[in-house]
Amino acid sequence: MQPVAFYRLITMDTSDLLSQLLSCLKELEIRFCVIGGQAVNAYAEPLVSLDLDLVIAADQLALAESALAGRFSLKHEPHSLNVSLTGSALRVQIQTDPRYFPFVARAEPDRDVLGNRLPVARKEDVLQGKLWAYADASRRPSKRQKDLADILRLVEAHPRLLDHLPAALRQKAAGN
């Protein structure tokens, strides 16, 4: 089974949310990159996820939101804009926390994500985003554990990233 067919099957994406979203961003030449778990999947052994986290260039965020509002259901959260469409279980979150905006300019332009070639935040930025998420005490414990697992997956696949971890996490990653 091809990656796109697999992703559509697990997300029950009969509306083709991902293709429509990517087409909209491409039409308007919106600069963006993939972050979060799907970005980890682009650099490490992939795991199945219904989530797709993106960050859009700060100067294009308002334009993107305006364009998406005409095609998708949007829901504002404190640090994200959630994009959905009837007929898809894919959960798209556009990160609006300004710490993530610089990731777009440094992104690797052509990585495999859900069977598509997309810009993905560089490994160091993906790791930093996961460290921020893991350190956020307001997040549910189960989410933070997934963030920790993603951090460990990334470091296992790219051991040089171990130096970017805080001391306590470096010990966990080393198995101590």
pLDDT, averaged per 10 consecutive residues of the chain (176 residues), comes to 58 80 97 98 92 98 96 95 94 97 98 94 98 95 96 96 92 74
DSSP result, the chain: --HHHHHHHHHT-TT-HHHHHHHHHHHTT--EEEEHHHHHHHHSS----SEEEEEE-GGGHHHHHHHHHTTSEEEEETTEEEEE-TT---EEEEE--GGGTTHHHH-EEEEEETTEEEEE--HHHHHHHHHHHHH-TTS-HHHHHHHHHHHHHHHHH-GGGGGGS-HHHHHHHTT-
Residue 1 confidence (pLDDT): 46
Q: What is the pLDDT of residue 171?
A: 82
Task: Write down the pLDDT at residue 5.
Answer: 59
pLDDT, position 115: 87
> Tell me, what's the pLDDT at 16?
87
Per-residue model confidence (pLDDT) at position 15: 80
Assigned fold of 3-173: Beta Polymerase; domain 2 (3.30.460)
